[in-house]
Amino acid sequence: MRAALALALLLTATPVVAQTVAERIDRSLALREQWQWLTRDIASPAQWDGDGRHFHYRKTVTGGFAFVDVDATTKAKRAAFDATAIAAALATMTGKPVDPVRLPFDRFDYADARAAIVTTIGDRKIRCTLTAPVCAPLPPEPEARPRGFGVVRDLRVPADNHPRRSPDGKWEALVIDDNLVVRAAGGGKEAWRSQDGSPADFYDPETIAWAPDGQHIALHRVRPGFARMVTRVVAAPEGKVQPEVVQQLYPKPGDAVDQEQPVLFAVADGKRIDVANALFPNPYYLSAPTWRKDGKSIRFDYLRRGFGQARIVAVDADTGAAHVAVSEDPKTFVFRDAIYSHDVGDLGREIVWTSERDGWRHLYLVDGATGRVKTQITKGKWIVRDIAKVDDTKRRIWFSASGVVPGEDPYYKHWFRVDFDGRHLVRLTKENATHELRFSPDMTRYVDVYSRTDLPETSELHDAADGRLIATLEKGDITALTAAGFRPPERFTAKGRDGTTDIHGLIVRPRDFDPARHYPVIENIYAGPHDSFVPKAFWPFGYFSGGDKVMGMQQLADLGFVVVMIDGMGTANRSKAFHDVAWKNMDDMGFPDRIAWMKAAAAKDASIDLTRVGIYGGSAGGQNTLNALLFHPDFYKAGIAYAGCFDNRMDKIDWNEQWLGWPVDQSYLDASGVVHAGKLQGKLMLVVGEQDSNVDPASTMQVVDALIKTDKQFELLVIPGGEHTAGRTTGPVPYAMRRHYDFFLRTLRGEGVADWNTR
């Protein structure tokens, strides 16, 4: 009775209270548009011309952005092009007005000796002439046959079967009736064709590779996997009355993938040279064969099903004999996204390889004949991140790394140069910040853009020999942004579950923060093991910094919350042991570290109220959100889960088998929000896009079904026609964001919901 009375009072709240909530929400929604044009001279990473004589970049200016071109020798700066003229040309092309300081692209390439630029707008490649500017779409390039998450070919779409010419131009190879055919160039007389291809075991024309000497052809023979189709209904198609049905090739964990078998042919007589698969059994992925420069062998990358082994396999062209050039054999998983290899001299005798075999991602020089390590090039309790260049002649590598500098945030990227033998390690970047470098083509200079969440971007031109500063290009100015009330988020570090490992995160407070008050806490979560996610760079509106997360957190904080973001154990870019926490353990999601971190923050700041903790996230963050409520109900009280992959058996094959392995086992069930739906205690809101092509939207509806069957109360918002963003973007009618704000005001602050219907 008392609960019913309270609900009645809530629903009949006076218009004054409802309007107050509405005004506060409108204020938060408007914040991005008000703030994002208030910075000056914040530059994005540079793009060098192919000859190294110039580079260009985008920077913030009054009301938007401008593109700047720099002469690398004289350091003279000028506009990269006439933005007003390009805007007019784009408006003519699209039929819509275009603002010269808000052009609809953030990068471009010069073309035709700098007489034109080429960029991408939406999914179209556009070319704009710079003299008498005219913009027009470029004709689409030939596309390869689509593959569902890279492992099952979409046989509904024809392969790119254009004839591949021999190095001397006399012959061409293609596939006819599933068999490899070699004939005279230009559609001439057929020399020979294979005889054993069939629709169930075909030769793939997109993998045809001629040997440099023209004596052999290598390609893949393919046994198709299971073509699982996800079917979705478009309930309210634009401009139509009746619903439509769409289908998407969508392999899921455990499905049969395409089985690819490398095959060699002697061009002279069509003799097939088989390659035994003993060294690459049960492949999840095989790269197309690549020829070494001398034409004596091919190489290909192999990833075993279950992500437990990665190899480079080399094959002798004459005999088909295979050997392992390098192998990665962890006890848990190979982190596919972090694999890097380079054939020194393009001969395969030596290979530069990244490995985590000593517990940290480092560079190794491997003997390509034996697979044995010749030299561990880098070592220490830090990780290699990006490899910018490997110079085979100088036997030198340029790369970025994190965690090298004691006392700094271990996620900050610094850049280095090192010789193949591990000597002469030179640190090029010095400032206590995270750095993004772009090197000139000859590696003699680089543009460094560095920043922290509390330090605006500075862009500098440096000498790559020793890191010497040549010129300061831009220095970010946030005077107007600060005057408008912006305060950078607080960087906070606390110990994790083990009491020794540092866990890093950010705290965003309301602009009218009062330390004497008590604020509910909301965690913005994304705990996918494929990266780390807490922003490290400054610009709070996007670019490469992840800054949109900070902006969204500020908008929510202004409604009376402390909003946090944390990288717990199981995320990437730390040690192998830190990352391994995720292996077959996706129900963990670093929650013991996150909870310990928030408790440490509350011990330091009495305004943080841990009796009212909320959480929100999308995609993997949606799964994280639901699992927070299911597995840690004593701590998390309310959550909004967007487009969640709530049951890993329902999600895409590649992401889930990477972290949970193959075959599908109990670990998939342990992390399932469907299996554990009956444990729900807190307040839950589910949001899903009806046309989500990233995560099968049925994953959300299966959670809904399980919640109903276990008699649980929850809220559901389906966005008709919505994609994976599921209404998270603010757009002209940010409906989902209003509901987002309403939900947390109601569940964590006990405030009335705004009545949007009376506006």
What pLDDT sits at residue 9?
34
Copy the structure tokens of residue 626: 């639901």
The mean-pLDDT minimum among 140-144, 150-154, 164-168, 199-203 falls in 140-144
Name residue, tokens 């909870």: 595
Name the percent of the chain lying above pLDDT 70: 96
In the prediction, which pLDDT does 592 show?
A: 98
Q: What is the 3-state secondary structure (H, E, C) of 174-240?
A: EEECCEEEEEECCCCCEEEECCCCECCEEECHHHCEECCCCCEEEEEEEECCCCCEEEEEECCCCCC
- What is the average per-residue pLDDT within 465-473? 96
CB atoms within 10 A of CB 186: 10
Q: What is the pLDDT of residues 384-421, one digit of tens each?
A: 999 999 999 999 999 999 999 999 999 999 999 999 99
pLDDT digits (tens, 9 = 90+) for 694-727: 999 999 999 999 999 999 999 999 999 999 988 7
Average pLDDT of span 732-758: 86
Percentage of residues in the chain having pLDDT higher than 90: 90
Two tokens at 324?
A: 């392992």
Give dist(CA 468, CA 472) in Å, integer: 11
Please check whether the domain covering 489-758 is classified as CATH 3.40.50.150: no
As given in the structure block, the two tokens for residue 737 are 């964001």
At 5 the pLDDT is 35
User: What distances in angstroms separate CA 194 from CA 159, 267, 655, one per listed residue?
Assistant: 18, 11, 37
pLDDT at 16 over 60: no
- 8 A C-beta contact, residue 152 and residue 249: yes
pLDDT band at 542 (very low <50, low <70, confident <90, very high): low
- The helix/strand/coil state of 131 is coil
Instruction: Look at residue 733 in the predicted model and tell me its pLDDT.
Output: 56
Spell 727-757 as b/e; 16+ CB within 10 A means b. bbebeeebebbbbbbbbbbbbbbebbbbeee
pLDDT digits (tens, 9 = 90+) for 637-670: 999 999 999 999 999 999 999 999 999 999 999 9
Question: What's the mean pLDDT in 109-117?
Answer: 97
111 — pLDDT class (breaks 50, 70, 90): very high
pLDDT(230) > 70 = yes
Q: Which amino acid would we find at residue 390?
A: V
CA distance 55 to 65: 17
pLDDT in tens, 332-384: 999 999 999 999 999 999 999 999 999 999 999 999 999 999 999 999 999 99
The per-residue pLDDT for range 508-534, each reduced to its tens digit, is: 999 999 999 999 999 999 999 999 999
**Over 90: is that where the pLDDT of 21 sits?**
no
163 vs 182: CA distance, rounded Å: 9
**Between 14 and 384, the higher pLDDT residue:** 384
Domain boundaries, the chain: 47-140, 489-758
For residues 341 and 352, the answer to whether their CB atoms sit within 8 Å is yes
User: Which pLDDT belongs to residue 143?
Assistant: 87
What is the pLDDT confidence band of residue 17, given thresholds at 50, 70 and 90? Answer: very low
pLDDT at 549 (0 to 100): 81
**pLDDT surpassing 50 at residue 15:** no
Q: Tell me, what's the pLDDT at 714?
A: 98
Determine the pLDDT at residue 726: 83
Q: Give the confidence band of 547 by pLDDT, cuts at 50, 70, 90.
A: low
Q: Judge whether residue 4 has pLDDT over 60.
A: no
pLDDT at 141 over 70: yes
Determine the pLDDT at residue 110. Answer: 98
Residue 226 pLDDT > 90, yes or no?
yes
Residue 382 neighbours by CB distance under 10 Å: 20
- 8, pLDDT greater than 50: no
Residue 20 pLDDT: 77
Quote the pTM value.
0.94
Neighbours of 462 (CB within 10 A): 20
In this predicted structure, what is the pLDDT of residue 545? 43
Looking at residues 169-190, what average pLDDT do you find? 98
Average pLDDT, the chain: 94
